């Protein structure tokens, strides 16, 4: 199937990172169906609902995706993997399947990723010397942060599978005040407003994340809540560079994510002002991306908003 192109009605350019040559699998939910995990395949800027697609077009394999998890699919073996990938490629490359799958394509920005399979076990390896050194100073205060063999033999740490979560799905942190109260932090309320309080749906979602992290807090009572106002963009990424107004440049829309990128954004904007040209590193964050539909998918990279 090398060289097969996506159907023209999908509007996917050749060489797109999520074209037919990749087709990554995952599990997702949407706001209108938050308790129904579905198996999906990324294609362009959309996600094909594979749970529904196989039920409609490949019923003999639908049971592999009915739960929304990839467990059964992974256990099915390479013959099933090959059959499914060929079927997906056929559906997405031939116009005759347009009516059959068009309503099963979900905008990627509205798909919330979930843990796609059961993690039975894992080993964590520190790839960064700096990170390993910092952890070593905590474990061995006053001693050498790295063991003598670290640069020659990798050191793995056995982890708990229950601690594995999907980046961007557990938006919560917990901190204790001097008075013993627990403060639960969160992220951005999906309902836009100028209120200094979160919406009921947002509070319920936060409570669910807290209990997922620490089930013992199920009877904790909410005393009060507050919220701040952030300048967020639809794709959770900043707007940087020149605008249609001559001489007017912007570096806005960072919300609560911006403090970590302050130094590099300042340097890039200085180059832009001095040279009159937009540095490549910030080219994707231009204001015109909203008119062109070339949004930046950085919400997962940002993970938690604090």
Residue 26 backbone class (left: φ over 0; alpha: ψ -120 to 50; beta: rest): beta
Same domain assignment for residues 47 and 138: no
Q: Examine residue 89 and state whether it is found in any structural domain, yes or no.
A: yes
By percentage, how much of the chain surpasses pLDDT 90? 35
Q: Which two tokens stand for residue 83?
A: 């059959």
Cα separation, 123 vs 144, in Å, equals: 23
Of 211, 172, 126, 190, nearest in space to 303 by CA? 172
Same domain assignment for residues 70 and 136: no
Computed over its alpha carbons, how large is the radius of gyration of the chain? 23
Helix (H) or strand (E) segment spanning residue 56:
helix 50-57
Q: What is the pLDDT of residues 130-166, one digit of tens each?
A: 878 887 887 788 888 888 888 888 777 776 666 676 6
The answer to whether residue 131 is catalytic is yes
Q: What pLDDT sits at residue 218?
A: 83
Give the number of domains in the chain.
4
Helix (H) or strand (E) segment spanning residue 162:
none
Query: Does residue 168 surpass a pLDDT of 60?
Result: no
Q: What pLDDT sits at residue 42?
A: 95
User: What is the span of the domain harbouring residue 267?
Assistant: 239-302
The single residue of 63, 131, 171, 209 carrying the catalytic annotation is 131
Matching residue, tokens 């912007």: 250
Same domain assignment for residues 98 and 145: no
Q: Examine residue 233 and state whether it is found in any structural domain, yes or no.
A: no
- 245, 268, 275, 289 from 230: Cα distances, Å: 24, 23, 31, 21
Q: Examine residue 199 and state whether it is found in any structural domain, yes or no.
A: yes
| Inter-residue contact 296 to 284 (CB < 8 Å) | yes
Of 272, 284, 280, 266, nearest in space to 247 by CA? 272
């Amino acid at each position: 199937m090398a060289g097969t192109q996506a159907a023209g009605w999908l509007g996917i350019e050749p060489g797109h990172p999520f074209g037919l040559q990749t087709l990554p699998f995952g599990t997702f939910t949407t706001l209108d169906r938050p308790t129904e995990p579905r198996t999906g395949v990324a294609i362009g800027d959309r996600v094909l609902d594979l749970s529904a697609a196989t039920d409609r077009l490949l019923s003999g394999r639908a049971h592999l995706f009915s739960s929304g998890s990839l467990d059964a699919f992974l256990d099915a073996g390479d013959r099933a993997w090959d059959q499914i990938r060929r079927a997906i490629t056929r559906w997405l490359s031939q116009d005759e399947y347009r009516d059959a799958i068009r309503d099963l394509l979900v905008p990627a920005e509205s798909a919330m990723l979930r843990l796609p399979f059961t993690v039975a076990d894992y080993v964590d390896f520190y790839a960064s010397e700096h990170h390993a050194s910092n952890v070593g100073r905590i474990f061995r205060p006053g001693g050498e942060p790295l063991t003598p063999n670290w640069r020659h033999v990798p050191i793995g740490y056995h982890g708990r599978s229950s601690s594995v979560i999907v980046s961007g799905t557990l938006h919560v942190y917990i901190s204790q005040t001097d008075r013993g109260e627990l403060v639960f932090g969160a992220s951005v309320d999906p309902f836009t407003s100028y209120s200094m309080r979160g919406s009921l749906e947002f509070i319920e979602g936060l409570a669910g994340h807290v209990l997922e992290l620490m089930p013992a807090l199920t009877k904790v009572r909410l005393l009060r809540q507050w919220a701040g106002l952030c300048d967020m963009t639809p794709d959770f990424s900043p707007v940087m560079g020149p605008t249609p107004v001559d001489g007017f440049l912007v570096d806005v829309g960072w919300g609560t994510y911006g403090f970590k990128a302050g130094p590099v954004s300042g340097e890039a904007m200085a180059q832009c002002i001095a040279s009159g040209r937009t540095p490549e590193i910030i080219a994707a964050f231009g204001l015109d991306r909203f008119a062109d539909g070339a949004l930046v998918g950085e919400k997962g990279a940002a993970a938690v908003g604090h």
